[in-house]
Amino acid sequence: MTMQQPPPMPVRQINVQDETHLNLISVLHFVMGGLYLLGIGFLILHYMIMAMVLQMAEAESQTPPASPSAVIAVSPTPATPEEAATLLASPPVAVPTRPTSPPFPKEFLPILSIFYVVCGAFLIALCICNILVGLHMRKRKHRIFSFVVAGVNCLQFPFGTALGIFTFIVLSRVGVKMDYDANASA
């Protein structure tokens, strides 16, 4: 009785172009994670500016109206001596130095803070996911996770869209899929 040998396992064959493209999109996912991190910095800066502006508006709305000593007397320039005499007889027109603003809604800053926290959490999650995809691509693991993150990146026009589409194209190649499958079973 002769024992039949099982068929040999397919040798991991990935061509140079696929290898280069995988390494390139791996690096680009790291760059995209860095861009999300930069976006978090801009979000923090924007929050600080908005909080300062809203606090200044609140302080301005709480100040009392302008006093009579803080008005400017405005009178037109007379063209004839008769107009000059009538202008001297009439009282000056008082114009306030700054307009009064409506009261500031105190509930706006906490609502705005919630918006910033939600956006910041979303950016942090995208940053971490893109860095993880870059690491997983180097190890040729978690192909489906890479597809999901590429799909979310497609919403970030223009760089995320280009990266997401390129990731879909490269990960859909047969050689790349076989390489991922070989690493998953190993």
Task: Examine residue 12 and state whether it is found in any structural domain, yes or no.
Answer: no
Task: Examine residue 40 and state whether it is found in any structural domain, yes or no.
Answer: yes
Task: Examine residue 153 and state whether it is found in any structural domain, yes or no.
Answer: yes
Task: Examine residue 72 and state whether it is found in any structural domain, yes or no.
Answer: no
Question: What is the predicted pLDDT for the residue at 53?
Answer: 85
Q: How many CB atoms lie within 10 A of CB 55?
A: 12
Predicted confidence (pLDDT) per residue in 31-75, tens digit: 999 999 999 999 999 999 988 888 887 777 666 655 555 445 555
CA dist list (Å): 172 to 127, 147, 149, 176, 177: 23, 9, 15, 7, 7
Amino acid at 119: C
> What's the domain range around 153?
17-57+105-185
Contact 180, 140 (CB under 8 A): yes
Task: Examine residue 124 and state whether it is found in any structural domain, yes or no.
Answer: yes
What would the mean pLDDT of 158-175 be, rounded to a whole number? Answer: 95
Question: What is the predicted pLDDT for the residue at 10?
Answer: 56
Task: Examine residue 83 and state whether it is found in any structural domain, yes or no.
Answer: no
Task: Examine residue 27 and state whether it is found in any structural domain, yes or no.
Answer: yes
The answer to pTM > 0.85 is no
Question: What is the predicted pLDDT for the residue at 184?
Answer: 80
Task: Examine residue 64 and state whether it is found in any structural domain, yes or no.
Answer: no
What would the mean pLDDT of 86-96 be, rounded to a whole number? Answer: 65
Average pLDDT score over the chain: 84
Q: Which long-range contacts (CB under 8 A, 24 or more apart) does 5-12 make?
A: 10/178, 10/182, 12/178, 12/179, 12/182, 12/183
Q: How many CB atoms lie within 10 A of CB 168?
A: 15
Question: What is the predicted pLDDT for the residue at 110?
Answer: 86
